[in-house]
């Protein structure tokens, strides 16, 4: 699969100034692509836990998988036509203008499962459009076959742990043959969607070639108009950098993407806070409270359609294991298993 990674900007991220070297966990208000995008791991319509896929969902899934192969080529052929994105992004929405409407603090006891009232798992070894090698396990529905918490559980210290394991999956096959890895892909498609607001995650990604940790948003309507907001993607082949991007109908990440380097060391050394402030006509990305990238309809290519004022989006948490055809690069002997993505919290705010 051809992957076109055109990164228009590169910045450096200052080291956090908190005493322990990482951003402190913020109290809740109640208590106080490259065109090889994340869309490549998409799956069509979400069905309720335990329900059989319906015909519409299966048709959309098939349509999207074809779309995934076509869009990178289309984006490369249709590049150009967009304005240069400014580097002065102003200020983020003040906290006084935010209202917390959804959160998962992951405060369960050690070994506790994912909250199935908030998340559901996508299951299978299809490669998710990017030829990742891991089988996504059922970690949210104990009534469905092959339920396991091995790939997603609480650590008892306020974190969700998504684990990529090097193991055989005896009950199913992957796109390349017998599965050699397992991991988890969690979505809120059947439980929570929102248009506009701040979507924020605090997480610590695993180091190692081929690993691909991400938090992103996705929406698609009945007319096929789609959009994606990659709040944070971290890949093992570029361990000192964080990627943030936006994609949609007729435009890909070569138009709206940012690569930010940490000031020293690698991203996996500590927790970082990644956020997208989404308002009518604009999406603004930040890292550790620092504005990094703002996109508006003014910067779309002529063939692009702005999707962000048309529908609510849902959230996705994922840890993938890349192969030779994956944007994240291939794993090798230096890739540690089990690899763990630690998520301190996910919070969604409305903009007052």
- Cα dihedral 121/321/288/296 (nearest 10): -80
In the chain, where are the structural domains located? Answer: 10-351
∠ CA 144-68-58, rounded to 5°: 35
Q: Per-residue pLDDT for 140 more than 70? A: yes
Structure tokens at 344: 């301190």
Give the pLDDT mean for 156-178.
Answer: 97
The 10s digit of each residue's pLDDT in 170-194 is 999 999 999 999 999 999 999 999 9
**Residue-averaged pLDDT of the chain:** 80
At the top level of CATH, which class does the domain 10-351 belong to? mainly beta
Against a cut of 0.85, is the pTM above it?
Answer: no
Calculated CA dihedral for residues 110, 348, 23, 10, nearest 10 degrees = 120
d(CA 330, CA 326): 7
Closest CA to 215 of 131, 276, 270: 276
> Which pLDDT value is given to residue 267?
94
pLDDT of 320 reads 96
- Tell me: pLDDT of 4 over 50: no
Q: In this predicted structure, what is the pLDDT of residue 97? A: 85
pLDDT tens-digit map of 276-289: 999 999 999 999 99
């Amino acid at each position: 699969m051809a992957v076109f990674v055109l990164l228009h900007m590169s910045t450096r991220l200052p080291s956090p100034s908190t005493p322990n070297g990482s951003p402190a966990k913020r109290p809740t208000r109640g208590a106080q692509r490259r065109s090889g995008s994340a869309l490549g791991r998409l799956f069509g319509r979400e069905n309720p836990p335990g329900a059989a896929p319906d015909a519409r969902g299966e048709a959309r899934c098939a349509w999207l998988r074809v779309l995934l192969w076509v869009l990178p080529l289309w984006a490369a052929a249709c590049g150009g036509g967009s304005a240069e994105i400014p580097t002065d992004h102003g200020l983020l929405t003040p906290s006084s203008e935010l209202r917390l409407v959804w959160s998962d603090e992951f405060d369960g006891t050690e070994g506790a499962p994912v909250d199935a009232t908030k998340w559901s798992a996508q299951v299978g070894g299809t490669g998710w459009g990017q030829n990742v090698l891991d089988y996504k396990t059922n970690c949210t529905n104990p009534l469905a076959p092959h339920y396991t918490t091995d790939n997603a559980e609480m650590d008892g210290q306020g974190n969700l742990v998504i684990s990529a394991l090097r193991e055989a999956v005896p009950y199913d096959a992957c796109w390349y043959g017998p599965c050699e890895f397992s991991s988890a892909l969690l979505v809120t498609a059947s439980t929570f969607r929102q248009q506009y607001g701040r979507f924020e995650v605090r997480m610590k990604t695993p180091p190692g070639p081929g690993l691909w940790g991400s938090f992103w948003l996705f929406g698609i309507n009945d007319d096929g108009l789609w959009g994606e907001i990659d709040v944070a993607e971290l890949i093992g082949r570029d361990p000192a950098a964080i990627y943030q991007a936006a994609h949609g109908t007729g435009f890909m990440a070569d138009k709206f993407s940012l690569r930010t380097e940490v000031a020293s060391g690698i991203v996996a050394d500590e927790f970082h806070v990644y956020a997208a402030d989404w308002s009518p006509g604009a999406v603004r990305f930040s890292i550790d409270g620092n504005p990094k990238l703002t996109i508006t309809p003014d910067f779309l290519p002529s063939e692009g359609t702005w999707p962000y004022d048309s529908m609510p989006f849902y959230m996705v948490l994922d840890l993938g294991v890349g192969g030779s055809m994956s944007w994240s690069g291939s794993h090798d002997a230096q890739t540690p298993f089990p690899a763990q993505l630690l998520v301190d919290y996910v919070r969604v705010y409305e903009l007052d």
